[in-house]
Amino acid sequence: MKIESDSVAQAWKALEESIIYYYGHPVGTVAARDPDVEALNYNHCFVRDFVSSALIFLMNGKPDIVRNFLVETLSLQSATKQMDCFNAGQGLMPASFKVVSNYGDQYLTPDFGEHAIARVTPVDSSLWWLILLRTYVKATGDFELAHEPEFQKGIILILKLCLADRFDMFPTMLVPDGSFMIDRRMGVYGHPLEIQALFYGALRSARELLAPSRQGEIYIQFINQRLSTLNYHIRRYYWLDLKRLNEIYRYRGEEFGETAVNKFNIYPDSIPDWLREWMPERGGYLAGNIGPSWMDFRFFAQGNLLAIVYSLASFQESQSIMDLIEKRWDNLIGNMPMKICFPAVEGLEWRILTGCDPKNVPWSYHNGGNWPVLLWPLIASAQKTGRTELAKQAISIAEKRLLEDQWPEYYDGKNGRLIGKEARKYQTWTISGYLVAKELMNNPDHLKIFSFDEDPEVLEESCSQVS
For ligand GLC, the binding residues (CB under 6 A) are: 31, 46, 48-49, 181, 183
Nearer to ligand GLC, 148 or 405 (CB): 405
CB atoms within 10 A of CB 404: 11
- C-beta of 49 vs 296, nearer to ligand GLC: 49
For residue 175, what is the DSSP state?
Answer: B
CB of 60 to ligand GLC, least distance (A): 22
**DSSP state, 178?**
T
Find the shortest distance in angstroms from Cβ 50 to ligand GLC.
Answer: 9
State the minimum distance, in angstroms, from the CB of residue 213 to ligand GLC.
Answer: 35
To which H or E segment does residue 102 belong?
strand 96-102
CA 326, 407, 396: angle at the middle one, nearest 5? 35
Say how far apart CA 114 and CA 94 lie, in whole Å.
10
CA dist., res. 385 & res. 318, Å (int): 7
**How many Å separate Cα 81 from the centre of its chain?**
23
For the CB of residue 49, give the shortest distance to ligand GLC in the complex, in Å: 5
The overall longest dimension of the chain from CA atoms, in Å, is 69
Return d(Cα 467, Cα 164) in angstroms, integer.
26
- The distance of closest approach from Cβ of residue 401 to ligand GLC in the complex, given in angstroms and rounded to an integer, is 19
Contact predicate 169/233, CB 8 Å: no
The nearer residue to ligand GLC, 95 or 309, going by C-beta atoms, is: 95
In the complex, the smallest distance separating the C-beta of residue 372 from ligand GLC, rounded to whole angstroms, is 12
Residue nearest to ligand GLC (CB): 31
φ and ψ at residue 234, rounded to 5 degrees = -70, -50
Measured CA to CA, the distance from residue 94 to residue 68 in angstroms comes to 16
Q: Which lies closer to ligand GLC via its Cβ, residue 48 or residue 298? A: 48
Give least dist CB 117 to ligand GLC, A. Answer: 8
Give the CA radius of gyration of the chain. Answer: 21
Q: What does the alpha-carbon distance between residue 188 and residue 183 come to, in Å, rounded to a whole number?
A: 9
Nearer to ligand GLC, 31 or 132 (CB): 31
As measured in angstroms, the least distance from the Cβ of 31 to ligand GLC is: 4
Residue 104, burial from CB neighbour count under 10 angstroms (0-12, 13-18, 19+): exposed
Cα of first residue to Cα of last residue in the chain, in angstroms, is: 56
Closest CB to ligand GLC among residues 49, 357: 49
Nearer to ligand GLC, 31 or 307 (CB): 31
Closest CB to ligand GLC among residues 284, 433 = 433
CA distance 260 to 392: 45
133 or 181: CB nearest ligand GLC: 181
Residue 367 vs 383, nearer CB to ligand GLC: 367
Rounded to 5 degrees, what are φ and ψ at 224? -60, -45
- Least Cα distance to 396 among 438, 339, 341 occurs for 438
- Evaluate whether 304 touches 321 at the Cβ level (below 8 Å): yes
The pairing of beta strand 239-241 with beta strand 284-286: antiparallel
Quick one: 72 or 326, whose CB is closer to ligand GLC?
72
**CA distances (Å), origin 443, targets 271, 433, 437:** 42, 15, 10
Minimum CB–partner distance for residue 93 and ligand GLC (Å): 13
What is the rounded CA–CA span in Å between residue 24 and residue 22?
Answer: 5
- Shortest distance, position 436 Cβ to ligand GLC, whole Å: 16
Task: Tell the smallest beta-carbon distance from residue 357 to ligand GLC (Å).
Answer: 12
Select from 183, 195, 190 the least CA-distant residue to 357.
183
